[in-house]
């Protein structure tokens, strides 16, 4: 389709449109409640094979959406895609490009000439899938804090119900970074007979306590903003933008490494060679960057969704939830081949977590490979280091196909 849209680069899936599907049945949740109705926003790239055996599910991270690849048919409002995805990707700013466009397309890591790639907005999201900003059918008002507390397993359960509604019962692969990698792991553990392989990037089996703390701080920043109003801010003309901005700032610094910040900003001043003696205005370029990121994020993201997804990713704990405290026991059911990719400078989802998964799978005699890529950009690497991940993923998927 690229001939009709001159701006589409080679390797692009072209112009895409997010679609929506209402699930036929309620989704049972870990908390004991059921959720109905549930709408799922999704995009697909490539062609489903007649045998329906070429499906790759791509899972997004905390602040992503279903628009993983290509150019959005409806361009975003100016500024609203700035700093999109869980983390920043300068090159894609405001162009309407999907958050993993460098990885999904003809000839790319997830090759749409061969695979039918599916991405859904997560349960609890604010980009088309049912979440706390959706209408609660019992009240006719947005759920807000009445939305049930959800888990990664609930997200996966929703994805599975969605895929079944599309007539897809088996996945060639589930892939994702960060929270997306947690979903891939959950798929392999909970539905071992339905997943051939998983690609788990910059992720973990359980967030370490410092990561739990950063997430708690981000949530506190939102909930302490009086405009949050206990979560019932919809329609009031006020939203917790101030607190969300702080949450986003915390996120940004944890997604980058100290070395990356040094290279990107150093201690360069914002306006001159000397300080201006101000408390309220940015003096350093890194301070201005943080304000800018905060400002653009609040335009496109719902604060309650942030709270719910942040909570879900801190809950995620494979060993606790599936192994009675033992990671090895939790991974016992896995039948998928596992590819783990971690980044040396990622201190939020450090390589040690992937190493623990690798060790446990290896002890169980299950096929697993781990690649720790030496790169300086911290957790953001999973969105930035596309060129170095591509051959690893391509080879892994090709070997899977050869099984």
Site residues (vs a copy of itself, CB under 8 A): 30-31, 145, 148-149, 206-210, 212-214, 216-217, 219-221, 223-226, 231, 242-243, 245-246, 249-250, 253, 256, 258, 261-262, 264-267, 275, 277-280, 282-284, 286-287, 290-291, 294, 307-308, 311, 314-315, 317, 320, 347
Residue 320 makes CB contacts below 8 A (sequence gap 6+) with 206
Catalytic residue (one of 63, 252, 346, 354): 346
CA distance 259 to 306: 27
CB of 258 to a copy of itself, least distance (A): 4
- Catalytic site residue 379? yes
Closer Cβ to a copy of itself, 56 or 319, answer by number: 319
In the complex with a copy of itself, which residue's Cβ is closer, 178 or 321? 321
The Cα 146–Cα 148 span in angstroms is: 6
17/141 with CB nearer a copy of itself: 141
Flag whether 380 is marked binding: yes
Task: In angstroms, give the least distance from the CB of 264 to a copy of itself.
Answer: 8
**In contact, 199 and 176? CB cutoff 8 Å:** yes
Per the residue annotation, which of 12, 133, 178, 345 is the catalytic one?
178
Rounded Cα distance between 364 and 351, Å, is 20
Instruction: Name the burial class of residue 136, with classes exposed (0-12), middle (13-18) and buried (19+) by CB atoms within 10 angstroms of its CB.
Output: middle
Q: Which residue, 58 or 150, has its beta carbon nearer to a copy of itself?
A: 150
Distance between CA atoms of residues 108 and 102, nearest Å: 7
Question: Which 3 state secondary structure label does DSSP give 96?
Answer: coil
Nearest distance in Å: CB 149, a copy of itself? 4
How many residues does this entry show for the chain?
403
* Closest separation in Å from C-beta 257 to a copy of itself: 8
β pairing state of 173-177 and 55-59: parallel
How far apart (Å, rounded) are the C-alpha atoms in residues 279 and 191? 54
Binding-site residues for substrate sit at 248, 380
Residues annotated within the binding site are 248, 380
| Residues classed as catalytic | 178, 346, 379
């Amino acid at each position: 389709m690229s001939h009709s849209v001159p701006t589409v680069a080679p390797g692009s899936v072209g112009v895409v449109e997010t679609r929506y599907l209402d699930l036929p049945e309620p989704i049972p949740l870990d908390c004991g409640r059921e959720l109905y109705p549930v709408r799922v926003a999704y995009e697909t790239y490539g062609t489903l094979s007649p045998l329906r055996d070429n499906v790759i599910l791509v899972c997004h991270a905390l602040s992503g959406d279903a628009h993983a690849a290509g150019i959005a048919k409806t361009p975003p409002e100016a500024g609203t895609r700035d700093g999109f995805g869980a983390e920043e990707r300068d090159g894609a700013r405001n162009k309407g490009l999907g958050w993993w466009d460098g990885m999904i397309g003809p000839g790319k890591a997830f090759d749409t000439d061969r695979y039918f790639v599916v991405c859904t907005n997560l349960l609890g999201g604010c980009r088309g899938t049912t979440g706390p900003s959706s209408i609660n059918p019992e009240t006719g008002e947005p759920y807000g804090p009445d939305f049930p507390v959800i888990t990664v397993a609930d997200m996966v359960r929703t994805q599975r119900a969605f895929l079944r509604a599309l007539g897809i019962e088996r996945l060639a692969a589930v892939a994702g970074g960060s929270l997306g990698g947690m979903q891939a792991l959950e798929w392999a553990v909970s539905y071992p007979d339905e997943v051939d392989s998983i690609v788990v990037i910059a992720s973990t089996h359980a967030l370490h306590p410092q990561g739990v703390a950063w997430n708690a701080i981000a949530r506190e920043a939102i909930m302490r903003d009086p405009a949050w109003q206990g979560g019932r801010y919809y329609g009031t003309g006020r939203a917790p933008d101030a607190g969300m901005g702080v949450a986003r700032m915390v996120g940004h610094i944890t997604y980058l490494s100290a070395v990356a910040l040094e290279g990107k900003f150093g201690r360069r001043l914002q306006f001159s060679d000397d300080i201006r003696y101000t408390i309220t205005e940015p003096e350093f370029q890194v301070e201005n960057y943080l304000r800018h990121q905060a400002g653009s994020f609040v335009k496109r993201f719902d604060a309650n969704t942030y709270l719910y997804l942040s909570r879900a990713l801190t809950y995620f704990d494979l060993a606790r939830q599936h192994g009675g405290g033992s990671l090895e026991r939790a991974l016992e059911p896995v039948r998928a081949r596992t590819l783990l990719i971690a980044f040396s400078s990622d201190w939020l989802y450090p390589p040690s977590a992937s190493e623990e998964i690798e060790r446990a799978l290896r002890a169980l005699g299950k096929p697993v490979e781990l690649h720790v890529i030496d790169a300086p950009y911290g957790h953001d690497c999973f969105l930035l280091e596309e060129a170095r991940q591509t051959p690893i993923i391509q080879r892994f998927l090709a070997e899977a196909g050869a099984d």
